[in-house]
Amino acid sequence: MYARMVAMPGRPDKMDEAQKIFNESVIPVARQQKGFRGAFFLTDPETGKGVSLTLWDTPEDMKAGESSGYLQEQIAKFGPLMAGPPTREVFLVAAQA
């Protein structure tokens, strides 16, 4: 399994709105993607930083969302709430409980 982490510097006063976007808009679309296994949205209410962590069956499934525009569309939903550009990292899930 593979994980894509997208860190988004945000504004503390917009954390509730970011959480709503993730739950009501990002997750439903993610569930329609081939190989999608799950998602987490982590936030720091004091700094406004948000981290999206999505899980994928294969690296090909994960990369397909990047080449199709899916990932960019999801990140764009947070555009007005971000205080800077997002960063992206990819990981192999080495252990899970």
Indicate the DSSP class of residue 25: I
State the pLDDT at residue 67. Answer: 87
CATH 3.30.70.100 fits 2-92, yes or no: yes
3 state SS of 41:
strand
Q: Please check whether residue 43 is in contact with residue 8, taking contact to mean a CB–CB distance below 8 angstroms.
A: no
Mean pLDDT of all residues belonging to the chain = 93
**Top-confidence residue, 67 or 28:** 28
pLDDT tens-place string over residues 18-58: 999 999 999 999 999 999 999 999 999 899 999 999 999 99
Identify whether the C-beta of residue 29 lies closer than 8 Å to the C-beta of residue 74: yes
Select from 96, 77, 94, 97 the least CA-distant residue to 6: 77
Name the 3-class secondary structure at 21: helix
